[in-house]
Structure 1
Amino acid sequence: MAGITATALLPLVHTPRATAATMEAPSVLETATEVVVDNGLVRLTVNRANGRTTSLVYDGVNMVGRGNYDMNTVREGGGLPLPPADNRLTVRREQDFVDIAYHHSPSGDMPCYLVRHHIVRSGEAGIHLAYSYRHPAELHGFRTDQHRYVFYTAGGVFTHASVPDDADATRWRAAAARMPTGDEISRAEMVMDATYDLEGTGSTYPRRYYTKYDWAVSMKDHSLHGLYGSGFGMWAALPNLEAFTGGPVRQDLILHQTGDTPVLLVEPQATHYGAPPVRVAAGQEWQKTYGPYFVYLNRGDDPRALRRDAAHQARFETHAAFYDRLAIEGWTATAQRSRVSGTVRIPGAPPLEGAVVVLSDDRTPMQDSVLGYNYWADVEEGGRFGIDHVRPGTYRLTVYGEGIWGEYVIDGVEIGPGQDVTLGRMLWEPTSHGRTVFQLGTPTRTSGEFRHGRDFRQYGLFERFHEDFPDGVTYTVGSSTPRDWNYIQYQRSYPVQAPEGTVLPEGAEGIRLFDLGTASSPVAAGYERVAQNTLYAAGRGFGLDRAVDSRDRGSDGELRRDFVVGSGYTFSVDLPDGEYEVTVLSGDDIAANSTRVSFQGGAFVDLVSGRGEYAVHTAVVTVTGGRLDLLTGGDGRLNAVEILATDAVVPVLQALDVDGAALVPGFSTFRSDFAVDLPWDQESVTVRATGRGGARVAIGGDVVPEAGLAVPLSAQRTVVEIAVTGEDGGEPTTYRLHVTRQERPWRILFDLDESPAPGAQATLTIALAAWAMGSALPVPPEDSNLTIRVNGEPFVWTFGPEDAKGATYRSARNGRNYSREITFDAALLRPSGNEITLQINDGVEHLWNEAAYDAVRLEIG
């Protein structure tokens, strides 16, 4: 393991458990603001007002700066009357444990009762966590995308992550166990949501990019993850995953470093990697208990010994008797749980050893199971399986296995309380549609067998795509190998982005540029800083009328990354009387924005933008009295203000348009570089550009006419330089347009061994390990598609917005898999020279999706 040194190892501290009868009860101190529980090994402090952890002290050292329970929940449907609010904290004291429970009343966005538990037991170095939801039928509906515990560790204690490698991937986590420091993260460029480019930071992390998504795990065999360092370990021990949504195929986040401190997660439900949300409708009664789970602390310098010790806490049997006695709402006692066993076979095939049997929500696809509980086990020798500790209920039984197309499904499996349920011998006959013409890949629910497929947890592999496939992907049946097929099909492998840069002609007059944001974030070249406390004074000549707040998101360039924020403040600039073009930039990388601005006391103008978008508005303003005043309203976000005298003579662009495509970022006179995204087969682009004050605009020496200039595109990415020259000549001002074309369709070429019989049907089965957004962007409320053409005949596979959640940059597999059978007249096929193409988002190129293929099969029957 990384991080082990030659120093002597401290002994592992492990306290033997005494019986409940001999243990002293934990002490409890209650004040007006907090509850403190101390069992001699740990001291837990919980905020009385919100039920959150404010410290967790072990062996005299505080391990947790704060522990948050958070959730993303919104109302669905009309609001209904709610019961009176009764949020409160209760403390239950028993002989050998203390249970601090925070009770949430239903609210508009969360119309259900929620109880959150922090439990400290005598003789244990840790805390148990559990929470339960109860939705009465009389309340309106809601949707939850995520709920979890997040522990922000304290004091710089933890330096390493302990996470097992994926079973079917290249081993890399031990060598990368030492995390980048919070300081390195804060200094790194954030290239995407929670993804940082460490180049230039001096970090010893063995990868260029650090992202929390690389440290996600598959839930099938997961039970323990943790942090260690400074002689301590902190572990999330999961004695059962019955309440975790999405079944064994789901994967999710478990821990990561931030710009401040490492965090440890217990996340039973989230929509990462495409897992579905929890939806509860009005009129639907629902109750579900998550946990208990155990956050365990131990000591020692050998991370392997720390992990072995913590693994004992992740077994169901370790805590079952205590949880039975604890008896929180919704818990099913061990004696009421059942064992479910049986045998499953495929006739005429070897035993299904290694296949997986799942019990999940009845009449619901296994991977979409969210409202109830789910259980799974491997099929063992002879096709036998056994699933323990199953709650009473009605379930769907699903069997899936590597190399087998489809699933074996039985609905309505009744499991009673405290039974030994034997389901008997089940025969699974996988679907077949005739003789197989070709099969690309093996159905495993992953894309691991294709190029880079074993290194899927490595951000940045898209940067190598054109090195590996300069002419795109073509797979020729009979001669190609799995390495001729990439593990992900990108709609774009080049990001649609342009470098940061400012166009400010030397010696230009009548221009003032202001970058508003924090006092410490970078300032865009050529701009003046306006921090949240830069107050207007006559001597300074610009500033705010009062101190406000500010934010720095750390991404989207120096001008956009940060902003000042607050409603009703004024930004003022001393200017000679006259007429000016004033441009305001307003937006936020991580939140929607609704800002209003008023120039010189005039009517307010709305600047509305979505998450990761920026509104730009230019107004012609007459300044009298020697000062420009810009009043804010609404959200009050200001990223930048640009002022240009209307009579200023400077060689800059007045406008730029590229075939009506969206510029990234939106056009701004003083921005030097822009990007545009075009369909894969577009061979040229028409650029329309006008210079300010009659300035000459040229591309490659050719003047750009009013109707625009056609520029040929010779590569996947083309940089077009636009030169702007003033009437008096001189050095031109240069703008750059970065034109990116999307990836061409992937091709499968094949011949037939024999001609199909008249009237025969062909079935093309496509199994996807993932379909998702290609980056951490909000999912648009519209359908995406994979368009399959067989010898030119199109078949469109449509995906809804919910299907596109959980971007594949996070993995070559999703928390949900997709499969589609396309049936057509086999007469469409030729004896030789057949071609199947696969194109992402044909006709809706403005979307951004990716596909990871599990396997493709063509049959004729």
Structure 2
Amino acid sequence: MPRHRLHTFACALLLYAGVSAPALAEFGCTRSGDRVIVDSGAELVFSVDTHNGDIVSMRYRDNELQTTEPKGSHIASGLGSASVDARIAGGTIVVSAKAGDLIQYYIVRKGRNAIYMATYAPTLPPVGELRFVARLNVSKLPDAQQEPDSNVGTAIEGNDVFLLPDGRTSSKFYSARRMMDDQVHGVSGPGVAVFMLMGNREHSAGGPFFKDIATQKTLVTHELYNYMYSDHTQTEAFRGGLHGVYGLLFTDGSAPSDAQLNTDFVDATLGLSDYLPASGRGAVGGQVSGVLPDQPAVIGLRNAQAQYWATADGSGEYQVTGVRPGRYRMTLYQNELEVAWRDIEVFANDTAHATLQAVALPGTLKWQIGIPDGTPAGFGYAGLLPHAHPSDARMRWSAATYTVGSSGQSSFPAVQWRGINTPSRIDFTLAADEVRDYRLRIFVPLAQGSARPQISVNARWNGPMPDAPLQPKTRGITRGTTRGNNTLYEMDIPASALQAGSNCIEIGIASGSPDNGFLSPAIVFDSIQLVAL
């Protein structure tokens, strides 16, 4: 039988059992029956179940915001059984729940309406993902900042994509935003809002452009998430260590205050496992060049233990701070496309200096559809795909013909499915003195079902079949992401396949997987180029 421990250091111990959380007079923590009750000293009181470490009550301004369903708010899918400790360190309360090698920390700063958190997870939990989910009362917090209709309607795919009566589609996955853009997201209702502060992402996986579920709305619960690891179109392995600090921020409906967003009070005195102070960290700085002027230059650092990123300013200067010591692969991205890379060593209390210049691909450009940037931006329905299933009534997919020089980029599809809209055709003209060997480049940020492009030229020359790509195995396109492992396909077209006047390239899909609607083998287009070498 598991043992449940509660140690209270400088916390008042109530000598009676109770179910509902009493309103405490001031900053502090108490035990009432099987709960640890924490008062922030502001307008927030919350309770932690001493059996499993779940948050089971969140009262803000005496308004209970925890869902009415039996499930608590917790890490992963709940710890099941945990040893719970609580202590006060100056103006900070730390409640910890330990199960196996995982420790979930709830941290409260005196006078703030916030539950800060950190998760020490040296190994991936058995459930196969690491997330914190706050389960909130949907009747009090009905509105989502990023995806108002998640999980509403009739299920059409995997019990997580839904069709609404007006033909639109919804899913919890459509609430996702890129890690580098998602510092805070929240849910709200009349006179109240709860925000998830995403915090430190160094031990998360997937890099700056990875995105995951932010909210999910059900009949009784509005779920607010911080995903630290999942296999949702994941490109990296789990990183163990101390995840966070992140947190739940409570307001009257307004945006979180600067004080709520500030976690500088967290230091070594709180006793968080694997905590590394600023004095033990380094930085990387320097200049990058060669990225197209209308594209952001993003710098990423990664190794098996940590990841970091920054965006260069208009002159190419950048700085990545708060980096754990170690050797990193450093990558320069043109928006989301890798264009240069190198290795770099980072030391504590030191700034490593590095320059990177985008590597230009050889050849003279004959024509191009889309800018190579690691995304399908500008292609047909690219703007809707992050927020809707491809079957959404606002999209219509069919085999497309693009004419170089007259067609707009949006007439070429962002995605090509073998069983839906194949082939994609490109018509172009060559003068007699332009008939020569060319190279066709197809930039693909994500594919599903082992799909890869295979071309034919003028119905008389077929390109070779590329090898199967290295891409995530889980659903991506229908879940609102077009980000996987950027892959460049290059096909050398001989002059004998071309002719003066009209020419045609058809792009098909090669795959050994069967067709299955929008789960059929498919590729996402980033850019297509024809170049003379």
Q: TM-score, normalised by structure 1?
A: 0.53
Is 1:298 aligned with 2:251? yes
Is 1:322 aligned with 2:328? no
Is 1:803 aligned with 2:476? no
* Conserved 8 A contact 1:345-1:351: no
Flag the 1:377–1:755 CA change in 2: closer, same or farther, 3 A. same
Residue 322 (structure 2) aligned to one of 380, 386, 389: 389
1:50 CA displacement: 1.8
* Conserved 8 A contact 2:200-2:243: no
* Conserved 8 A contact 1:45-1:54: yes
Is 1:845 aligned with 2:507? no
Greater C-alpha radius of gyration: 1
Residue 455 (structure 2) aligned to one of 788, 799, 818: 788
Flag the 1:800–1:454 CA change in 2: closer, same or farther, 3 A. closer
Q: Deviations over 1:382-407 (max 9, x none)?
A: 211112222222111111114x9741
Flag the 1:797–1:132 CA change in 2: closer, same or farther, 3 A. farther
Name the structure 1 match of 2:360: 430
Name the structure 2 match of 1:59: 61
Is 1:418 aligned with 2:349? yes
Residue 484 (structure 1) aligned to one of 411, 415, 424: 411
* Conserved 8 A contact 1:26-1:120: no
Residue 354 (structure 1) aligned to one of 269, 277, 296: 296
For residues 650-665 of structure 1, the aligned pairs below 5 Å read none
Which amino acid is the alignment partner of residue 849 of structure 1? P
Name the structure 1 match of 2:380: 451
Flag the 1:451–1:466 CA change in 2: closer, same or farther, 3 A. closer
Name the structure 2 match of 1:68: 74
Name the structure 2 match of 1:824: 492
Name the structure 1 match of 2:37: 36
Is 1:746 aligned with 2:424? yes
Residue 128 (structure 1) aligned to one of 106, 116, 119: 116
Which amino acid is the alignment partner of residue 73 of structure 2? G
Name the structure 2 match of 1:497: none
For residues 640-719 of structure 1, the aligned pairs below 5 Å read none
Name the structure 2 match of 1:764: 440
1:225 CA displacement: 0.3
1:312 CA displacement: 5.3
1:257 CA displacement: 0.9
Which amino acid is the alignment partner of residue 342 of structure 2? I
Is 1:190 aligned with 2:174? no
Which amino acid is the alignment partner of residue 787 of structure 1? Q
1:489 CA displacement: 1.6
* Conserved 8 A contact 1:246-1:275: yes
Distance (whole Å) between structure 2 residues aligned to residue 360 and residue 483 of structure 1: 34
Distance (whole Å) between structure 2 residues aligned to residue 51 and residue 28 of structure 1: 15
Name the structure 2 match of 1:99: 94
For residues 546-625 of structure 1, the aligned pairs below 5 Å read none
Is 1:154 aligned with 2:81? no
Flag the 1:144–1:830 CA change in 2: closer, same or farther, 3 A. farther
1:157 CA displacement: 1.0
Flag the 1:818–1:324 CA change in 2: closer, same or farther, 3 A. same
Name the structure 2 match of 1:681: none
Distance (whole Å) between structure 1 residues aligned to residue 56 and residue 451 of structure 2: 44
Which amino acid is the alignment partner of residue 401 of structure 1? Q
Flag the 1:489–1:313 CA change in 2: closer, same or farther, 3 A. farther
**Helix, strand or coil at the partner of 2:464:** strand
* Conserved 8 A contact 2:184-2:196: yes
Name the structure 1 match of 2:260: 313
Computed over aligned residues only, the root mean square deviation of the Cα atoms, in angstroms, reads 3.3
1:744 CA displacement: 3.1
Distance (whole Å) between structure 2 residues aligned to residue 145 and residue 431 of structure 1: 39
Distance (whole Å) between structure 2 residues aligned to residue 102 and residue 142 of structure 1: 14
Distance (whole Å) between structure 2 residues aligned to residue 350 and residue 786 of structure 1: 26
Which amino acid is the alignment partner of residue 358 of structure 1? G
* Conserved 8 A contact 1:345-1:427: yes
Flag the 1:208–1:297 CA change in 2: closer, same or farther, 3 A. same
* Conserved 8 A contact 1:320-1:334: no
Name the structure 1 match of 2:17: none
* Conserved 8 A contact 1:45-1:56: yes
* Conserved 8 A contact 2:168-2:392: no
Is 1:278 aligned with 2:234? no
Residue 855 (structure 1) aligned to one of 513, 523, 527: 527
Distance (whole Å) between structure 2 residues aligned to residue 24 and residue 339 of structure 1: 41
* Conserved 8 A contact 2:341-2:356: no
Distance (whole Å) between structure 2 residues aligned to residue 417 and residue 224 of structure 1: 29
For residues 505-520 of structure 1, the aligned pairs below 5 Å read none
Q: Deviations over 1:142-167 (max 9, x none)?
A: 9875210111102721021123xxxx
1:310 CA displacement: 4.3
Which amino acid is the alignment partner of residue 67 of structure 1? S
Distance (whole Å) between structure 1 residues aligned to residue 392 and residue 182 of structure 2: 31
Which amino acid is the alignment partner of residue 252 of structure 2? R
Flag the 1:251–1:321 CA change in 2: closer, same or farther, 3 A. same
Which amino acid is the alignment partner of residue 163 of structure 2? D
Q: Deviations over 1:169-221 (max 9, x none)?
A: xxxx7xxx5x58x9xx4xx3222232333328xxxxxx733322222111222
Name the structure 2 match of 1:590: none
1:765 CA displacement: 1.9
Is 1:222 aligned with 2:182? yes
Q: Deviations over 1:272-300 (max 9, x none)?
A: 2x223535xxxxxx742110101111114
* Conserved 8 A contact 1:339-1:421: yes
Name the structure 2 match of 1:337: 281
Which amino acid is the alignment partner of residue 407 of structure 1? V
Flag the 1:474–1:153 CA change in 2: closer, same or farther, 3 A. same
Flag the 1:826–1:749 CA change in 2: closer, same or farther, 3 A. same
* Conserved 8 A contact 1:784-1:801: no
Between 1:830-839 and 1:51-60, the stretch displaced more is 830-839
Distance (whole Å) between structure 1 residues aligned to residue 433 and residue 203 of structure 2: 52
Which amino acid is the alignment partner of residue 36 of structure 1? I
* Conserved 8 A contact 1:24-1:122: no
1:772 CA displacement: 3.0
Q: Deviations over 1:726-766 (max 9, x none)?
A: xxxxxxxxxxxxxxxxx4321223343466798x5x43221
Distance (whole Å) between structure 2 residues aligned to residue 792 and residue 372 of structure 1: 47
Flag the 1:227–1:464 CA change in 2: closer, same or farther, 3 A. closer
1:323 CA displacement: 3.6
**Helix, strand or coil at the partner of 1:120:** strand
* Conserved 8 A contact 1:392-1:417: yes
1:422 CA displacement: 2.6
Residue 268 (structure 1) aligned to one of 222, 228, 236: 228
* Conserved 8 A contact 1:120-1:126: yes
Distance (whole Å) between structure 1 residues aligned to residue 154 and residue 480 of structure 2: 21
Name the structure 2 match of 1:533: none
Which amino acid is the alignment partner of residue 178 of structure 2? S
* Conserved 8 A contact 2:416-2:422: no
* Conserved 8 A contact 2:292-2:334: no
Q: TM-score, normalised by structure 2?
A: 0.83
1:232 CA displacement: 0.7
Which amino acid is the alignment partner of residue 260 of structure 2? Q
1:311 CA displacement: 5.9
Q: Deviations over 1:754-812 (max 9, x none)?
A: 66798x5x432211233236xxxxxxxxx444433345414333446853423212226
1:492 CA displacement: 3.8
Residue 259 (structure 1) aligned to one of 206, 219, 237: 219
**Helix, strand or coil at the partner of 2:505:** strand
* Conserved 8 A contact 1:92-1:100: yes
